[in-house]
Amino acid sequence: MKTYANWKGDMDEYLQVGDEVDEEMADHFLNVMPPACWRSDIIQIGEPYSHVGGRATYATLRKDSGRWYYAGHCFRGEVTQAAGA
């Protein structure tokens, strides 16, 4: 499990798609700025990471069986990393 407390440096170097993250990391995604998407099963950081095909991608966490996982850089409301992100 990747923890917020152990995170140093660039998020993209620390987190890989599929990594389980702790609640503190989920809280960071939720509170760093107003989220782009926030539902019971998804949190996306409010600032776009990049644009693919003219659509913004966002750093995304998805919840499965009560645990949070890093999903990569996904389109708003989605939990599959965008091709080319």
pLDDT at residue 84, as a whole number: 77
Instruction: For residue 5, tell me if it sits in a domain.
Output: no
Instruction: For residue 32, tell me if it sits in a domain.
Output: yes
Instruction: For residue 34, tell me if it sits in a domain.
Output: yes
What confidence category does residue 38 fall into, taking pLDDT thresholds of 50, 70 and 90?
A: very high
pTM as predicted: 0.93
Mean pLDDT along residues 16-42: 96
Nearest to 32 by CA among 61, 56, 6, 63: 61
Question: Under DSSP, is residue 1 helix (H, G, I), strand (E, B) or coil?
Answer: coil
* Residue 81 reports pLDDT greater than 80: yes
Instruction: For residue 83, tell me if it sits in a domain.
Output: no
Tokens linked to 24: 């503190």
Instruction: For residue 48, tell me if it sits in a domain.
Output: yes
Place of tokens 């998020």: 11
Please count the structural domains in the chain.
1
Instruction: For residue 81, tell me if it sits in a domain.
Output: no
Contacts of 10-19 with CB under 8 Å at 24 or more apart are 11/59, 15/70, 16/70, 17/70, 17/71, 17/72, 17/81, 18/69, 18/70, 19/69, 19/70
* Residue 85 reports pLDDT greater than 80: no
Instruction: For residue 80, tell me if it sits in a domain.
Output: no
Lowest mean pLDDT among 31-35, 63-67, 70-74, 75-79: 31-35
Residue numbers of the domain that contains 43? 11-75
